[in-house]
A and B are shown apart, each in its own frame.
Chain A
Amino acid sequence: MASLEPAGLLPGTLDLLILKAVSLGERHGYGVLLRLQQMTGQALTIEQGALYPALYRLERQGLLDTEWGTSDNNRRAKFYTLTAAGRRRLKSAESDWLRMVDIMGTALRHKPGEA
């Protein structure tokens, strides 16, 4: 059986995924990318070029905090952590997303003749 081709990200979902990835632990930019790929089982194509503008955007919005440190490879890197506002945003976005999935699932599972 041929493996599924990675799907493109839905608009607006990258920010949510990044918040989720960072919520699991402090990560530098490349580490966030690896965590996203791991979380999605390589099923989503994450454009590396879109990652950094999104990280800077979330930082500007006060959802992420940053600090320079040393990575496991002994390289200097910028590490991202979730702020309190970021945690609140992640919680509300998760809830919205799951609700939307429910609604969409219900709608798509609808069969002719059902009320």
Chain B
Amino acid sequence: MAWRRRRRSLETEMAEELRAHVAHRADDLETSGMARPDAERQARIELGGIETHKEHIRDERLLGRTRRFLQQTGSDLRLGARRLRHAPLYALFAVGSIGVGAGVTTAMFAIVHELVWVSSGIRNPDAVAIVGNRIQGALALERVMSQPDFEDYQGAQTSFDSLIAATRFSQSLSLPNTTRLVESEAVTDGYFPTLGVEAALGRVLQPADSRPDAPSVMVLSERLWRTGFASNPNVVGQVVRLGGTPFEIVGVAARDYRGLNNLLPRRTAVWIPLSAMSRMPVYGVPVAAGHMPEPVVSRTVPDRMSLTMVVAGRLKDGMALARANAEAAAFSVGLDAGFPITRSVRGSRVPAQRQWELRLAEHTTGNTGLGPLMVAIVALVLVVACTNLANLSLARGTSRGGELAVRLALGASRGRLIRELCAESLVVGAGGFVAAVLISVPLMTAASTDLIGRGNTIEPHLSATVVFATALAVGLSLVVCGLWPALRLSRADVRSMMTQGSAVLSPSWRTERLLIRFQTVVSVALFCSAAGFISALLVQVRADPGVDLDRLTIARTVFRLRSWDEARSLQAVDRITSVAPARFGFEATAVSSSMPFGGNPDVYASVALTEADLATQRDQPCSWPPLRVSSTRLGCPW
């Protein structure tokens, strides 16, 4: 608006000043005896084209050099676009090359960004320390200490303002339309305030929720709220079943916070008070008749050898990590003296030592060097595409060698030629950017598929950072396939170009020859990888499993056979096979000890069910037994 006002003011000023000029000149002419109308006409003629003057003044006053630069650039871009229109195959190849290379790199960047470069969601993570336990040289940050050890440490420590613990477990959660296996944390008092995590909706857990007579409540992760409850703003107050036990939802955690272990597949979906865990049939009290049998061993037995807790705390102001570390180490040694523990090695118990060490939370949330490595590997595709394109640009420039030589001979500056050639590359880059975005979106969508089956899918998306990364990738591409050939072409000697033609533009640098060799090697490697992948894909597509996959659904239920004896497991299997057909409308059911069509390394019992009405089955809420549909239809998606 301000710019428009300035421009309007300038236009008025210019018009008035030029009018004044004509009037003054006409006054002089009138004084010398000319009639007023003739004098005014003569004055206008002498001044010349008023609009032309205005245009010149605008050039000087409004934008000056910037405007001239933009005009020149616009003109170069139009020229570049016209040239590309006359070479459609080249244009298509160039845009496609940059689009594919930058698109794949962008998608991988978005995935890595989502996986390891996201915020932990913990407020001031450099003041939050996580307690680890060193076992055989490696520092374990999960299953660090037992509940009694934690309570002793919490009472004795002086390094932290507050110390909290959480027990992680995966359990079935009944959602409005389905049942999902979710990662959960049963947490001690003060968990959310200690980590500085607030509620996005409702409230977080409070000390009153841990009282024995308090109702069972839970806090959802923002992602679960979004994907499992369709971002329902009225979710607070709803009752859902976790492991068959009803819990009232009291809030949704802040979007960034994904649990104490931010790495897949361990992103937490629900948080409950630690005291509520003992009310769950699978972990605590015996279940009522008609439900599944309870486990033989409770996981909440106050046993110092039951290392189930992740422990973290917020350091006191001014407390050095080394000092807190020394206190933790000394305390763990003291515990070892009083309460020696053992651990299981190949079925037998061997003495184990507590060797506690602290790590700042900011160093434990996945900021690894793996991300850049993955992006770098995928960026090889971009490098190959750019090298190809650079060589093609050189070859194309060679065919224009005569034209460039003549222009240089006529006095065109090298900078001018470089600008023109780069403008053409900029047009290609703009097309490549659009193509890259269009290519990266379906790749990111494909990467959002739940490959690990716990609802912990990543959600790469076109954030501002990712778009910036795309622009950066395209920009770097333009340097390789635009600026470099332009420099090479404009540096060629005019006389040589006119007499020897393309010979002067053949690769002369050692670096260039190496680059071409590198490109060839990477291209062959990528081609072989792609061929292997496509071959495997074709085998998969053509495979005949011998059954009608379109009507087959595989469901899986978690029995935790490690805790159950054989009789109880068989009892559970019998119950599922008898209940499932009537309850879900399946035509027939069959049971196997491992997952068909791909195997399942976990110790689960698997139930294969042939469905009669898939839609009906999927719409029914499934509470207990916790059936989880692993794959609704097994027909090949391709």
- Contacts of A42-94 to chain B: CB distance below 8 A: 48-50, 52-54, 56-57, 59-60, 71, 73, 75-78
For residue A30, CB closer than 8 A to chain B, the reply is: yes
For residue B434, CB closer than 8 A to chain A, the reply is: no
Number of A residues, CB within 8 Å of B: 21
**A48-B47, A49-B48 given; A56·B20 CB < 8 A:** no
Within the complex, the shortest CB–CB distance from A15 to chain B, in Å, comes to 11
Interface of B is mostly: helix
> Interface size class for chain B?
20 to 34
A28 touches B60 (CB 8 A): no
A49 to B18, CA, bound (A): 10
Interface string of B7-35 (1 = CB under 8 A from A): 00000011011101101110100000000
Within the complex, the shortest CB–CB distance from B458 to chain A, in Å, comes to 54
For residue B46, CB closer than 8 A to chain A, the reply is: yes
Residues of the B chain whose Cβ atoms lie less than 8 Å from the Cβ of A28: 20, 24
Which stretch of B51-59, B279-287, B460-468, B512-520 is in the interface?
B51-59
A25 to B628, CA, bound (A): 93
Residues of chain B whose beta carbon lies under 8 Å from any beta carbon of chain A: 13-14, 16-18, 20-21, 23-25, 27, 46-49, 52-53, 56-57, 59-61, 64
**A49-B47, A53-B53, A56-B57 given; A75·B17 CB < 8 A:** no
**Taking CB as reference atom, which chain B residue is nearest A48?**
B47
A54 to B53, CA, bound (A): 11
**Taking CB as reference atom, which chain B residue is nearest A59?**
B61
B17 touches A53 (CB 8 A): no
Q: Apart from A49-B47, A60-B60, A73-B24, what are 15 other A-B pairs with CB-CB below 8 Å?
A: A29-B20, A31-B24, A33-B21, A48-B21, A48-B46, A49-B56, A52-B14, A52-B21, A52-B57, A57-B64, A59-B61, A71-B20, A73-B27, A76-B20, A77-B20
Residues of chain A whose beta carbon lies under 8 Å from any beta carbon of chain B: 28-31, 33, 48-50, 52-54, 56-57, 59-60, 71, 73, 75-78
Within the complex, the shortest CB–CB distance from A76 to chain B, in Å, comes to 6
Residues of the B chain whose Cβ atoms lie less than 8 Å from the Cβ of A71: 20, 24
A53 touches B23 (CB 8 A): no
Residues of the A chain whose Cβ atoms lie less than 8 Å from the Cβ of B49: 49
**Taking CB as reference atom, which chain A residue is nearest B54?**
A52
A77 to B46, CA, bound (A): 19
B61 touches A56 (CB 8 A): yes
Residues of the A chain whose Cβ atoms lie less than 8 Å from the Cβ of B57: 52-53, 56
**Taking CB as reference atom, which chain A residue is nearest B49?**
A49
Residues of the B chain whose Cβ atoms lie less than 8 Å from the Cβ of A57: 60-61, 64
